[in-house]
Structure 1
């Protein structure tokens, strides 16, 4: 039985030494305000990752400023799906729950919830229903 106290002492010492590890986070990081202000100014020289940008441009692949414009393609794909497979009407019911107390007596604020009348959304076959009026008015509708 002398092994059990020795094991207990060893485990306790290992756990205590693990808790006394030095701080691993560097203290010279920029503050949140500095990062935010450098993001707002959008100047590559004042940004904290300026050395990364310089290295990236040296590789021959410059970074793009601003968002990549994908809205045209995405919007076209969305319209194509909506035109080919429109959803059949499924009314959405909105119900307001008044503020009340739970069974345990805790207050529950009022809220609104919405649910569809039918359990699942049904899609029409291509050409089964006419396209919505807003699509034909803009000239983007599918012509039969």
Structure 2
């Protein structure tokens, strides 16, 4: 029973395959003596010798150009670095460091050790929290 409806599909597949092979390459892709350079010049309106259209296009481009001196180059480089994404800036933007204020502590002069040795007074600095804390992505850190 399965054979009765699959037999026409088999003949149809063979017919389509044979019909696809019956076309010629020359009919589908005609080959003439034109090169890619000739096709390019025809499609862009120019000519290999530099015609009027290509001359006008070159003049229009020249009028739009401006000088790019050393100062412009430095300015462009600084401007581009503000937009450049690096791994460091991505982490800093997603995980903001929470403020960890530094505490100043004055240690008064004292005696230290088993043999009482005098230690002069000094000032030391240490962070309030032992570890650096990070905000989760999307957590507000502006009001801290």
Higher helix residue share = 2
TM-score, length of structure 2 as denominator length: 0.30
